[in-house]
């Protein structure tokens, strides 16, 4: 790809890139993936709890988007569209009964910071991961979209086909359950 062609791609909007992808321009699709793969992976990783399954979900999401590129109608942001695809794939993953194992506490390295503070941070992360895993899939996904992806209530509602009020209610119940799970884990630990 020529430098001028690459600069043109960088300057295009997501909708323009999707339209070009629908016409068969693979470099436009590559640019979309480069722009959004980290966000898609973050949503899937936070929901599923492990890297491998998250990578699979992201690959599936972009494959579905590529297949649907010819029929793509820009009704909202591409990020919202991607959020819908990733969210639905995550929910399908849970519906198929696949687990959501939390990441291990491995990876401790001596780099000058105190080992006890690293262990404490990892233990806190592990407790949050475990508490998230205990939530029903829809509640877990709403927490992930709201707090890890930064999605607003309307965007979450669009991704999960819910009203603003329904998102508020499910989010409130999810936060309450998270608090209870985290409080219980502190009592045990």
Residue-wise pLDDT for 27-60, tens only, equals: 999 999 999 999 999 999 999 988 999 999 999 9
pLDDT score for 107: 38
Q: How does residue 5 score in pLDDT terms, banded at 50, 70 and 90? A: low
pLDDT score for 96: 83
Q: Write down the mean pLDDT value for the chain.
A: 84
Whether the Cβ atoms of residue 71 and residue 19 lie closer than 8 Å to each other: no
Residues with Cβ within 8 Å of 105's Cβ and at least 6 positions away in sequence, in order, are 119, 122, 123, 126
Would you say residue 165 has pLDDT above 90? yes
Would you say residue 113 has pLDDT above 60? no
Q: How does residue 106 score in pLDDT terms, banded at 50, 70 and 90? A: very low
Residues with Cβ within 8 Å of 155's Cβ and at least 6 positions away in sequence, in order, are 80, 83, 145
Whole-structure pTM value: 0.74
pLDDT score for 2: 47
Q: How far is CA 147 from the centre of its chain?
A: 11
pLDDT score for 110: 40
pLDDT score for 10: 82
* Alpha-carbon gap, residue 156 to 184, rounded angstroms: 28
Would you say residue 103 has pLDDT above 70? no
């Amino acid at each position: 790809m020529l430098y001028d062609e690459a600069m043109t791609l960088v300057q295009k909007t997501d909708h323009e890139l999707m339209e070009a992808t629908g016409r068969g321009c693979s470099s436009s699709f590559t640019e979309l993936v480069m722009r959004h793969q980290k966000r898609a992976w973050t949503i899937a990783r936070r929901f599923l709890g492990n890297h491998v399954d998250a990578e699979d979900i992201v690959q599936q999401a972009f494959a579905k988007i590529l297949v649907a590129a010819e029929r793509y109608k820009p009704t909202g942001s591409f990020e919202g569209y991607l959020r819908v695809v990733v969210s639905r794939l995550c929910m399908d993953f849970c519906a198929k009964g696949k687990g959501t194992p939390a990441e291990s506490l491995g990876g401790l390295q001596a780099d000058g910071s105190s080992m006890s503070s690293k262990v404490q941070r990892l233990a806190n992360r592990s407790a949050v991961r475990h508490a998230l895993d205990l939530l029903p899939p829809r509640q877990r996904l709403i927490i992930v979209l709201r707090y890890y992806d930064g999605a607003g209530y309307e965007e979450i509602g669009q991704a999960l086909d819910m009203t603003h009020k329904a998102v508020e209610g499910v989010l409130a119940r999810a936060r309450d359950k998270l608090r209870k799970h985290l409080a219980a884990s502190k009592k045990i630990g």
